[in-house]
């Protein structure tokens, strides 16, 4: 489309949106200077055609229908904590901010469900569940910022996936708006519904490329009455696996967290400039932070202590310390959650989020680290992860943002993925930054089927364009 036609179309769209929504819900020009596309880019301003603030599902439908009619692309903004460029604009898009769709519609303690709008922040959902003596078990570091719509659209994981599953396992119903404005409402509270295609799963994890999530029915559970944690030091990866099996068997399914931190990463997380002190001495090859959630604090503490004593006797672990108080518990988990303590030690940082079969993680990370050390410009290598579900994170410190250096680092991390039967994205999605590597973990037939879905639901390719797929 010629540039003057694009401008005319954009102006006509803005005028139409203001007529239908009200001028206060459609921001342009100087009003975008205090907006941003990521929480790490808050001082950069926002380059977009318009920034819209819908307050109802019907508002979202109006915006999408109008953008579709004017051939204008759309990006949905949630908490803006994504790590793969999923919300990066090119400047010609209409932004849909979900910040005003922030109501908790209902908490049904009998069905153990919560119905919410897409803009509700995870921490608020957790607190609402707690107030009703229930638990929404999804948990991760960005809980104070991340909105449930974005969490669902990226199928986020977190610290308790091993026991409770990814976000997908916690969603009973969704309301979604298609690019043509069609509202698909499937806000059921039931767990078992085998009536043909389960459409909600098309939108969970699709990163806003197939439809805009506006409401969700969340699955809640009865809250455990105890939470027990410990840090252990281990000197072989084989024993990391042995301890996982030992704890999972001995706790009869109560193990809810099993976080692995490599020795050098643990040292960086518990030494200045990091604020946390080390619960265990530095010097072990691996550190595991574990969590058991059960029904009796005293008995479960005794159980965890007993299991660790057995592990010491069997020489599976070298050292251990339990969290004896709530303060200890918070201290232990702050170490794992505060990845910013690693970021500040890097001149420039590059993040990775991969899945590898659990049995292969030790050798794979060792080989990747050795190859990274050979790259001129790599200064820090910090591996850690939710090893019980095969998820490994890297934070790589480097001397610059040079594209060549970035690609060399990417090649080291991603090249082994296909042979290992792993994934380039365990929980953060594909977005803009990883789409060139998608073929390492998806077959050509899978990718072509994804493209068919995209073309069917969004034939003009206007929803979050250029993300996930080259199409």
The per-residue pLDDT string of the chain (471 residues; one tens digit each, 9 = 90 and over) reads 555 566 667 889 999 999 999 999 999 999 999 999 888 888 888 999 999 999 999 999 999 999 999 999 999 999 998 889 999 999 999 999 999 999 999 999 999 999 999 999 999 999 999 999 999 999 888 899 999 999 999 999 888 888 899 999 999 999 999 999 999 999 999 999 999 999 999 999 999 999 999 999 999 999 999 999 999 999 999 999 999 999 999 999 899 999 999 999 999 999 999 999 999 999 999 999 999 999 999 999 999 999 999 999 999 999 999 999 999 999 999 999 899 999 999 999 999 999 999 999 999 999 999 999 999 999 999 999 988 999 999 999 999 999 999 999 999 999 999 999 999 999 889 999 999 999 999 999 999 999 999 999 999 999 999 999 998
Q: Name 221's bridge partners.
A: 135
CATH architecture of 104-219: 2-Layer Sandwich (3.30)
> Any idea which residue has 């250029």 for tokens?
466
Q: Where are the domains of the chain?
A: 3-100, 104-219, 226-340, 346-428
H helix or E strand, kind and range, residue 76: strand 74-77
Is the pTM higher than 0.85?
Answer: yes
In this structure, the number of other CB atoms found within 10 A of the CB of residue 465 comes to: 18
Q: Name 353's bridge partners.
A: 393
Question: From 3.30.70.260, 3.30.70.2740, 3.90.1150.10, 3.40.190.10, which CATH number describes the 346-428 domain?
Answer: 3.30.70.2740
Could you tell me the two tokens for 372?
């990274």
The CA-based diameter of the chain, rounded to the nearest angstrom, is 77
What is the Cα 145 distance to its own chain's centre?
12
- CA count, 13 A, side-chain hemisphere, 364: 26
| Range 226-340 classified under CATH 3.40.50.1860 | no
pLDDT tens digits for range 152-198: 999 998 888 888 999 999 999 999 999 999 999 999 999 999 999 99
Q: Which fold has domain 3-100?
A: 3.30.43
Q: Do 346-428 and 226-340 have the same topology in CATH?
A: yes
> Any idea which residue has 């769209």 for tokens?
13
Instruction: Using alpha carbons only, give the angle 214, 430, 382 rounded to the nearest 5 degrees.
Output: 120
């Amino acid at each position: 489309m010629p540039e003057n036609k694009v401008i005319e179309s954009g102006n006509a769209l803005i005028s139409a949106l203001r007529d239908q929504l009200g001028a206060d819900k459609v921001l342009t020009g100087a009003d975008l200077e205090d907006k941003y596309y990521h929480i790490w880019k808050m001082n950069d301003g926002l380059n977009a055609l318009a920034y819209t603030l819908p307050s109802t599902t019907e508002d979202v439908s109006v915006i999408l229908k109008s953008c579709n009619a004017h051939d204008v692309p759309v990006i949905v903004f949630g908490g803006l904590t994504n790590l793969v460029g999923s919300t990066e604009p090119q400047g010609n898009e209409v932004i849909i901010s979900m910040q005003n769709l922030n109501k908790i519609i209902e908490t049904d303690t009998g069905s153990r469900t919560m119905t919410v709008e897409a803009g509700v922040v995870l921490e608020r959902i957790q607190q609402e569940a707690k107030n009703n003596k229930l638990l929404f078990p999804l948990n991760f570091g960005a809980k104070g910022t991340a909105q449930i719509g974005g969490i669902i659209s990226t199928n986020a994981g977190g610290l308790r996936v091993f026991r409770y599953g990814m976000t997908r396992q916690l969603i009973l119903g969704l309301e979604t708006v298609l690019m043509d404005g069609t509202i698909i409402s499937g806000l059921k509270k039931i767990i078992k519904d085998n009536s043909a295609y389960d459409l909600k799963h098309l939108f969970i994890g699709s990163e806003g490329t197939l439809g805009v999530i506006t409401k969700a029915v969340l699955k809640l559970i009865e809250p455990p009455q105890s939470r027990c944690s410990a840090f252990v030091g281990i000197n072989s990866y084989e024993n990391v696996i042995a301890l996982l099996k030992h704890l999972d068997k001995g706790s009869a399914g109560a193990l809810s967290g099993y976080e692995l931190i490599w020795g050098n990463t643990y040292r960086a997380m518990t030494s200045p400039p990091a604020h946390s002190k080390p619960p265990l001495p530095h010097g072990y090859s691996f550190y595991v932070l574990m969590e058991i959630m059960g029904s009796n604090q005293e008995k479960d503490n005794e159980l965890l202590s007993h299991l660790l004593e057995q592990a010491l006797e069997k020489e599976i672990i070298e050292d251990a310390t339990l969290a004896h108080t709530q303060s200890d518990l918070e201290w232990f988990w702050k170490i794992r959650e505060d990845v910013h303590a690693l970021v500040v030690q890097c001149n420039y940082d590059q993040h990775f989020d991969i899945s590898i079969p659990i049995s292969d993680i030790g050798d794979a990370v060792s080989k990747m680290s050795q190859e990274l050390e050979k790259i001129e410009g790599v200064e820090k290598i910090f591996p850690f992860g939710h090893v019980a579900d095969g998820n490994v994170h890297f934070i790589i410190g480097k001397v610059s943002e040079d594209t060549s250096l970035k690609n060399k680092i990417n090649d080291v991390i991603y090249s082994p993925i296909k042979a290992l039967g792993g994934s380039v994205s365990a929980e953060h999605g594909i977005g803009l930054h990883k789409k060139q590597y998608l073929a390492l973990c998806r077959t050509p037939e899978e990718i072509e089927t994804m493209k068919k879905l995209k073309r069917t639901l969004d034939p003009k390719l206007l929803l979050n364009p250029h993300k996930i797929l080259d199409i």
